Amino acid sequence: MTIDALLFQALNGLAAASGLFFVAAGLSLIFGVTRIINIAHGSLYMLGIYLAYTFATRVGGVLGFWGGIVAAALIVAAIGALIEILLLRRIYRAPELFQLLATFALLLVINDAALWIWGPEDLLGPRAPGLRGAVEILGRRFPSYDLFLIAMGPIVLIALQLVLTRTRFGRLVRAATQDREMVGALGVNQAVLFTSVFAVGAFLAGLGGAMQVAREPANLLMDLTVISDAFVVVVVGGMGSIPGAYLAAIIIAEIKALCIGIGVVEFGGFRVNFSKLTLVAEFIVMAVVLIVRPHGLLGRAQGAIRSVAEPEEPIRPATAALKFLGLVVLGLLICLPLFAKTSPYTLVLGTDILIAIIFATSLHFIMGPGGMHSFGHAAYFGLGAYGAALIVKFLAAPMLGAIAFAPLLALAGALLFGWFAVRLSGVYLAMLTLAFAQIVWSIVYQWEDVTGGSNGVVGIWPAAPFNTATNYYLLALAFAVLSVLLLRRMLFSPFGYAMRAGRDSPLRAEAIGIDVKRVHWVGFAVAGCICGLAGGLFAFAKGSISPETIAVGRSIDGLVMVLLGGIQTLTGPIVGAATFVMLQDTIMRQVEYWRALLGATILLLVLVFPAGIVGGIMARYAAWKSR
């Protein structure tokens, strides 16, 4: 490919960078002040482009297009303010991951709302009045509108910087980013500040989306793709740094554009398809940046950020009553095949729940007691599932051997990824784990010769005597019980104490001789290993495995399960996993707008049980007892 063509492709990248920058800047601002990771930020972008489409086609003309872009951004800003007032304001004092769960629920609701309003088809808006033409650059025709987009990036960057440094609002935003409680003690009404910051962030997202209306079709997948791109940009640029976000947006957009431009290249007999790399390139960049510069390109080490959440209750060993309850539940589960004779589906669902329990309990192990918020637990699930499936496919391994191999491969992956991940904390750790999961996913997706690509691996059926629903269910039950008990036992061993000490106060833990990184690394590896077991069981339960079952959605499902149950209780992930799978199963099979219903259910749980289901029940029990 020629240099000219490459340069041309680079210009394309710049045009894409602007929209990405707007979303990322909004996300960064909102996170800075409210400490909320707004998963629904991509949804606001999506609303922006849909609204701009509606204005451009219904009103039409110059007013409909250009006025429509502004109107769309303003409407999205208003929606953002409403979200802050009606929902987020109630949960600022909840644990931070719970807030994340709430915004994830919003994503689901907004997605179905958009489906209901605009329908499932992709909608491409009209060309921009006044900028319909193209300019000749490097012998090719480059759309004028894209030049306009390229210019908008720096303009908005400078405008934002001026607002942040030259206005009182900007100073309050920066001050609140560091210490919002102190800002309150100086007489600033946080509620108003937070609402306005949320509105500004939403405005930026809406604007970013609306401006793409003439460039790409609006579709319902945008919310997730945009939010993951925006996360990458914010993390690569450095949390809270607006120039960093711009720089990172350009880097990411350029790399994606160049990968598409380069296409397939032969390296001494090896064919590398660069355009397929777009799926993973940004995550590789993010992983490298986080490893080399843990706070992003232009970010600085964040001072200890004051948590406003109430201190959490420590976990406690099971009481006699709980042990008894556990035995009763176990007994019922063992007897389940007897009750389920008439409906074999119950056992399939039961097996799904048991696998989800192993998955969620292993995630909880590092998230709760370890304090490491992994957004990429699907990686270890996937390694386990593919490990088991491939060893059957290529080596014709027996089933139990394959299931034993699954956790080993996951352990190897967790040891490798964990070594890097435990060097970071908070959001950065979350993003690095997400990046690793994306890398695993894209390797699986693109290494067609081995993994079967998007078709996956099929025909992985359990061998006798586990080839009946009943026996496989009992096998899963045995593994689930063993996993849960093992993880529980570890948490109340000296190792578990060391892991919790490292979470609560890394400095003090180091001072009494605990190698915190090493302890957390081992914890991470153990969790990955157990999670791999869930993956292996899953492969045989379904008879097949495909990339979509190990995509980012599974990581998010895990987070939802853990948070739903309650992160500071050990029974939480079990209840959370069971609830989630049953909710998903019943809602998905019966309702057209299942996302909205699931989202609404999660929102309800968040507002009614801010400590998760088990946490909520325990708090109510304690209140009842002390009466």
Partner 1 sequence: MTGEPVLAVRDLSAWYGAARILYDLAFEVGRGEVVALMGRNGAGKSTTMKSIMGMIAKKSGQVTFRGRDITSLKTFEIARLGMGFVPEDRRIFSDLTVLENLDVGRQPPRMIEGTAQTEAWTPERLFALFPNLGQMPDRLGNHMSGGEQQMLTVARTLMGNPLLVLLDEPSEGVAPVIVEQMAHTIVELKKQGLSILLSEQNINFAELVSDRVYVLEKGQIHWQGSMAELSGNIDVQRSFLTV
- Shortest reach from residue 272's CB to partner 1, in Å: 43
C-alpha radius of gyration, the chain, whole number:
25
Segment contacting partner 1 (CB under 8 A): 22-30, 107-115, 188-196, 501-509?
188-196
Distance, CA of 295 to CA of 301 (rounded, Å): 6
3 state DSSP class of 463: coil
Segment contacting partner 1 (CB under 8 A): 171-179, 265-273, 397-405, 561-569?
171-179
Nearer to partner 1, 141 or 171 (CB): 171
Distance, CA of 517 to CA of 613 (rounded, Å): 31
Under rule CB under 8 A, how many of the chain's residues touch partner 1? Answer: 21
- Shortest reach from residue 611's CB to partner 1, in Å: 14
Residue 266, strand partner residues: 271
What's the number of CA atoms in the CB half-sphere (13 Å) around residue 370?
33
- Note whether 329 binds partner 1 by CB under 8 A: no
- Note whether 189 binds partner 1 by CB under 8 A: yes
- Note whether 243 binds partner 1 by CB under 8 A: no
Segment contacting partner 1 (CB under 8 A): 181-189, 226-234, 285-293, 577-585?
181-189
| Per-residue 3-state assignment (H helix, E strand, C coil) for 504-544 | HCHHHHHHCCCCHHHHHHHHHHHHHHHHHHHHHHHHHHHCE
- Note whether 183 binds partner 1 by CB under 8 A: yes
- Note whether 305 binds partner 1 by CB under 8 A: no
| Exposed / middle / buried, residue 218 (Cβ in 10 Å: 0-12, 13-18, 19+) | buried
- Note whether 178 binds partner 1 by CB under 8 A: yes
- Shortest reach from residue 171's CB to partner 1, in Å: 5
Nearer to partner 1, 292 or 304 (CB): 304
Q: Which two tokens stand for residue 466?
A: 């586990």
Segment contacting partner 1 (CB under 8 A): 37-45, 186-194, 357-365, 426-434?
186-194
- Shortest reach from residue 300's CB to partner 1, in Å: 8
Q: Which of 287, 289, 285 is nearest to 254 (CA)?
A: 285
Q: Which of 18, 43, 190, 433 binds partner 1 (CB under 8 A)?
A: 190
Q: Tell whether the torsion through CA atoms of 50, 51, 56 and 60 is positive or negative.
A: positive
Nearer to partner 1, 313 or 592 (CB): 313
- Shortest reach from residue 546's CB to partner 1, in Å: 47
Segment contacting partner 1 (CB under 8 A): 14-22, 272-280, 303-311, 402-410?
303-311
Segment contacting partner 1 (CB under 8 A): 57-65, 74-82, 168-176, 448-456?
168-176
Distance, CA of 125 to CA of 210 (rounded, Å): 10
- Note whether 177 binds partner 1 by CB under 8 A: yes
Long-range contacts of 476-481 (CB under 8 A, 24+ apart): 476/350, 476/351, 476/354, 476/355, 476/537, 476/541, 477/333, 477/334, 477/354, 479/354, 479/358, 479/403, 479/533, 479/537, 480/354, 480/355, 480/357, 480/358, 481/330
Q: Which of 67, 126, 184, 453 binds partner 1 (CB under 8 A)?
A: 184
| Exposed / middle / buried, residue 619 (Cβ in 10 Å: 0-12, 13-18, 19+) | middle
- Note whether 310 binds partner 1 by CB under 8 A: yes
Q: How many CB atoms lie within 10 A of CB 448?
A: 11
Q: Which of 181, 161, 156 is nearest to 171 (CA)?
A: 161
Residue 143, strand partner residues: 134
Segment contacting partner 1 (CB under 8 A): 185-193, 343-351, 488-496, 536-544?
185-193
- Shortest reach from residue 250's CB to partner 1, in Å: 24
Do 379 and 597 touch, CB atoms closer than 8 A?
no
What's the number of CA atoms in the CB half-sphere (13 Å) around residue 51?
28
- Shortest reach from residue 425's CB to partner 1, in Å: 19
Segment contacting partner 1 (CB under 8 A): 164-172, 377-385, 415-423, 451-459?
164-172
- Note whether 507 binds partner 1 by CB under 8 A: no
- Note whether 505 binds partner 1 by CB under 8 A: no
- Shortest reach from residue 153's CB to partner 1, in Å: 24
- Note whether 301 binds partner 1 by CB under 8 A: no
Q: Which of 115, 134, 175, 291 binds partner 1 (CB under 8 A)?
A: 175
- Note whether 3 binds partner 1 by CB under 8 A: no
Nearer to partner 1, 188 or 490 (CB): 188
- Note whether 162 binds partner 1 by CB under 8 A: no
Distance, CA of 9 to CA of 13 (rounded, Å): 6
Nearer to partner 1, 304 or 338 (CB): 304
- Note whether 179 binds partner 1 by CB under 8 A: yes
- Note whether 242 binds partner 1 by CB under 8 A: no
Q: How many CB atoms lie within 10 A of CB 501?
A: 17
Q: How many CB atoms lie within 10 A of CB 134?
A: 14
Distance, CA of 366 to CA of 526 (rounded, Å): 9
Distance, CA of 549 to CA of 535 (rounded, Å): 10
Residues forming contacts to partner 1 in the complex (CB under 8 A) are 168, 171-172, 174-175, 177-179, 181-190, 303, 310-311
